[in-house]
Amino acid sequence: MRVRGAGLIASSAVTALKIAAQKSPAEDPGSFMRDLSDAARVLLETRPTAVSLPNGIRYVMHRVNRAKANATSGADLKLVASKAADEFVELTRTAVERIGEIGAKRIRDGVVVLTHCNSTAAISVMTTAWRQGKKFEVYATETRPRFQGRLTARVLARLGIPVTLILDDAVRYFMQDVDMVLVGADAITANGALVNKVGTSMVALAAHEVHVNVNVAAESYKFSPETMIGELVEIEERDPSEIISAKALSQIGRRVKVRNPSFDLTPPEFVDAIITERGIIPPLGAMLILQEVFGVLTPEELTEYQTYKLSEA
């Protein structure tokens, strides 16, 4: 949790994979691939829900696997891995900037925006609109139990954007004063469902009830290719100690269970628009983004995207 935000998680993982590639002592292609695949598996196990991380790893592994047939040494593949990693990190940077430019058009003067958690892409939309001279205010949820919303509030406040920090539980209370919801994404499924920080679905439900539009800022590498063939996005559950200490729990009772899901799923019917670096799409357009980014993949071709078959792709 020292690295937060799906885009930063992805670029950090890809940078780690690049470091592993550069430090591999392997001299032949086969040995190098084993080293790189081992490192990839370790990284893939760190954050199972944020699809940007596996997509970043796949971006590099796909290019290395493709170059493997013509490689004569481990050094050849090391260069390919390093170049691919640099390309992906640059992609994450430019994508966020482009989303800011496109999404800023949806923010009008005088509106009230509600945001949840800490999304680099969503922040880019708000900061770009503010720098364009638009005046608006923001409600930011605390986003318990890790309080990522406080980070969002701090970034926006430093730019001079009026921010009100609110309890997650108070979303419905304040929703009547909100003109638009703007959140990020940890994953987008093929049918346009949103996987994001737990509590997002409740925010979207409250917005839907009072007819407030829900906008999602998401880079194209956050769309999940596995969901094209029916795979489900794994929802990560974190340590219960984030919610309650062992001592406090013991005072409540040994039979009490504590569950701490980090993410939840928002149905596509509660999402009005997804802002990507390729343009703004409705949730049903998610499949088009997946096909544009990953191609029309058969189950056999998707073996390359399965975490347990990286070395065989």
How many other CB atoms are there within 10 angstroms of residue 231's CB atom?
15
Instruction: Report which of residues 288 and 172 the model is more confident about.
Output: 172
- C-beta separation of 265 from 185 below 8 A: no
How many other CB atoms are there within 10 angstroms of residue 150's CB atom?
15
Cross-strand partners of 280: 275
Q: How confident is the model at residue 300 (pLDDT cuts 50, 70, 90)?
A: low
Active site positions, annotated: 117, 186
Cis amide leading into 268 (omega within 30): no
Beta-sheet pairing, 273-276 with 279-281? antiparallel
Alpha-carbon span 313 to 293, nearest angstrom: 18
Cross-strand partners of 180: 113, 213
- 117: nearest Cα among 95, 93, 144: 144
- Intervals of CATH 3.40.50.10470 along the chain: 99-239+248-294
- 194: nearest Cα among 270, 102, 142, 126: 270
Question: Does residue 309 register a pLDDT over 70?
Answer: no
Question: Does residue 268 register a pLDDT over 50?
Answer: yes
Alpha-carbon span 32 to 39, nearest angstrom: 11
Q: What is the pLDDT of residues 172-204, one digit of tens each?
A: 999 999 999 999 999 999 999 999 999 999 999
DSSP class of 237: B
Radius of gyration of the chain (CA): 21
Q: What angle do CA 288, 293, 296 make, to 5 degrees?
A: 65
CATH class name, domain 99-239+248-294: alpha beta
Alpha-carbon span 302 to 306, nearest angstrom: 7
User: For the chain, what is the mean pLDDT?
Assistant: 90
Query: Domain 6-97+298-312, CATH 1.20.120.420 — does that match?
Result: yes
Report the range out of 84-88, 136-140, 234-238 with the highest average pLDDT. 136-140
pLDDT of residue 299: 54
pLDDT of residue 8: 81
- Intervals of CATH 1.20.120.420 along the chain: 6-97+298-312
As a whole number, mean pLDDT of residues 58-83 equals 92
- C-beta separation of 50 from 119 below 8 A: no
- C-beta separation of 136 from 110 below 8 A: yes
Question: Does residue 261 register a pLDDT over 80?
Answer: yes
